[in-house]
Chain A
């Protein structure tokens, strides 16, 4: 158990809908990262937050947004969903001080039908 929690574990929704994925980092970690794992794109970095502020952005679509709240949990919002958004979405956390270790949550499997 990495100490990073993600909910829900599975999500099935229809095209055009909007969903919210939630992540709680390990105790004491200030940085949260979101990654997408799909069969065709592999594991890709989406976005990073540090202590409530956006720190880095990767290949995140404009239909996707994220935020980190004062209690450090983070949410990834996916809207106008398309079939191609079906993937595993991982959250990871680190202490954000330049520490080398990023610990991953169990992921949320999103299926868009």
Chain B
């Protein structure tokens, strides 16, 4: 079955870059996503990448996909305190509807 793994915590200083990593097992993944969850809030779609791409940039966010190693990363440039949240990686496989399989989430803490 599908499995998505992430490290649980990341701490960075304000102004530095953050890199959040994710690995997945489903070789038929079509899209891979990054969602952000702030305390007490829902999931905010940040960005996504189609599986035939290897990079996508969207303002301060850069997504890198290594399909061979099934590794996805999210880089946040110039990290701010408002970026403190839990970041979820998710993958969508082929078929079976469009269900998303989520990782455990990475808690990003931005320190002054």
Binding site for B on A (CB under 8 A): 2, 31, 33, 35, 42-45, 48, 50, 55-56, 58, 90, 92, 94, 96, 98, 100-107
Contact = CB atoms under 8 A, between A and B. Distances in A.
Given A35-B100, A45-B101, 17 more contacts: A2-B42, A2-B44, A2-B45, A31-B98, A33-B100, A43-B102, A43-B105, A44-B102, A48-B98, A48-B99, A56-B97, A90-B43, A92-B43, A96-B98, A104-B45, A106-B41, A107-B42
Contact of B48 (A58, A90, A92, A101): A101
Contacts of B97: 48, 50, 55-56
Contacts, number: 58
Interface residues of B, number: 23
A45 B31 contact: no
19 contacts: A35-B100, A42-B104, A43-B102, A45-B99, A45-B100, A55-B97, A56-B96, A56-B98, A90-B42, A90-B43, A92-B100, A94-B98, A96-B98, A100-B31, A100-B92, A102-B100, A104-B44, A106-B42, A107-B42
A102 B98 contact: yes
Interface of B: 31, 33, 35, 41-45, 48, 50, 88, 90, 92, 96-105
Query: Chain A's interface: helix, strand, loop or mixed, by majority?
Result: strand
A103 B45 contact: yes
Nearest to B41: A106
